[in-house]
Structure 1
């Protein structure tokens, strides 16, 4: 869908009363998203494999540990990888929205069991069909709520959807509430979401706008801050996290996406960053409290 049409659609939905707007958003997402549950699980599998390699290199073992996932998403894929592949003791997954549906979770139970040769039995009377030791808290704002006692914090493509000040507040809170030595892992995708489904748009198109202009374009359904890699690193260093690992991909000359990026007239707020810093994506960072 053309990004201008999508933005207009989201802005129209945002005018509807609360709950009705969320219902319409879910229906639209379901209509346009033609991916299968198996296909979406495979995309999370790549996250698991990448994370597994990095943790092995860092000698970080999650067996019998408690994991706290920020941003549950639409179904509990990563919690299952943590429980059944990393063999964690417990996974607490939270989300500011409520997306889990029992029928989807039950389908995932069977799919995950078949693909990874594990036995998944829903906990008796669990309203979402989740297995024991996978705990889901929707409508949970981690910036306002306290952290439980956990060993490992994980987020997958969440930080870019948070208010910039909330990203800062989150890391300030984790530094004070998590026990020393705790590990924090973030997968970050700081690209313009409007590009999804519209390849005519650069992944960095939103860097042409001032803060005021961008605030008029985005909606709560496609909210995205524009923090660049150096800005994330600045926050981590501000609160004295030890950066155990950092890797990312940047656009290279000769790439079509790089050519689209060079057509973007950058706003002065981003002029000080290099092309590598501006286009850094698919970021994986491992922090130590």
Structure 2
């Protein structure tokens, strides 16, 4: 779908009453999303493998640790990798929305068994049929609630969809709550998600707008804070996190994506950053408290 039509659609359903707007959003996502559960799990497997390699390199063992996942998404993909591959003790997964469905979790249980030879036993008392050791808390605000005592905080492509002030507040809060030596692991995708449905749109197209202009375009269904890599790093350094791993990809000159980026007339808020900083994407970093 053209990104302009998608914006109009999201704007329209955001005018509906609470719950009705979420219901319509889920229906629309289901209609247009042609990815299978196996497709989605394969994508998360790549995150797991990327994380596994770096943790091995850093000699960090997650066995018997307690993990707190910020941003559960549509089904418990990373919690299963944490439980059955990293052998953590427990995973708390929380989300500002409520996306999990019992039917999807049951399908995932069977799929995970077949793909990874891991026996996933549903907890019959769990309303979502999640296995023991995986606990889901929807409608959960990590900035306002007191979070559990954990060893690892993890997020996968979530930080860019939080209000910038909340990103700051979350890291201030975690710094005071987490034990010294705890780890915070983030995968961040700071690109304009509208380009997923419109290949002629640059991954950085939203950098041409002022704050007020951008606030009129996006909705709660496609919210993006537009923070660039240096801005994320400023927040982490502000609260004295140790950055023990950082990797990212930037656009290369001579590519179509780079050419699309160079056609953007950047808003003055972003002109102080280099091309590398502006286009840094697929960010993966590990912080230590």
**Aligned residue for 1:252?**
252
Distance 1:277 1:103 in 2: 42
Unaligned runs of 5+ residues in structure 2 are none
Q: Confirm or deny that 1:185 pairs with 2:178.
A: no
Q: How is 1:106-117 mapped onto 2 (pairs within 5 angstroms)? A: 106-117=106-117
Task: Output one character per residue of 1:205-256: Cα deviation in whole Å (capped at 9) or x when no partner.
Answer: 0000000100100101000011000000000000000000000000000110
Name the SS for the 2:230 alignment partner. helix
**Aligned residue for 2:73?**
73
**Aligned residue for 2:17?**
17
How far residue 124 of structure 1 moved from its aligned partner, in angstroms, is: 2.2
**Aligned residue for 2:55?**
55
Distance 2:118 2:210 in 1: 50
Name the SS for the 1:282 alignment partner. strand
Number of matched pairs: 289
How far residue 146 of structure 1 moved from its aligned partner, in angstroms, is: 1.1
How far residue 281 of structure 1 moved from its aligned partner, in angstroms, is: 0.2
Distance 1:113 1:67 in 2: 22
Name the SS for the 2:91 alignment partner. strand
**TM-score normalised according to structure 1 size:** 1.00
**Aligned residue for 1:282?**
282
Unaligned runs of 5+ residues in structure 1 are none
Task: Output one character per residue of 1:49-69: Cα deviation in whole Å (capped at 9) or x when no partner.
Answer: 000001111111000000000
Distance 1:160 1:125 in 2: 35
Distance 1:52 1:24 in 2: 37
Contact 1:147/1:178 (CA < 8 Å) preserved in 2? no
**Aligned residue for 2:160?**
160
Q: How is 1:1-289 mapped onto 2 (pairs within 5 angstroms)? A: 1-289=1-289
Task: Output one character per residue of 1:131-163: Cα deviation in whole Å (capped at 9) or x when no partner.
Answer: 001000000000101121100000000000000
Distance 1:27 1:273 in 2: 39
Distance 1:191 1:246 in 2: 17
**TM-score normalised according to structure 2 size:** 1.00
Distance 1:145 1:34 in 2: 35
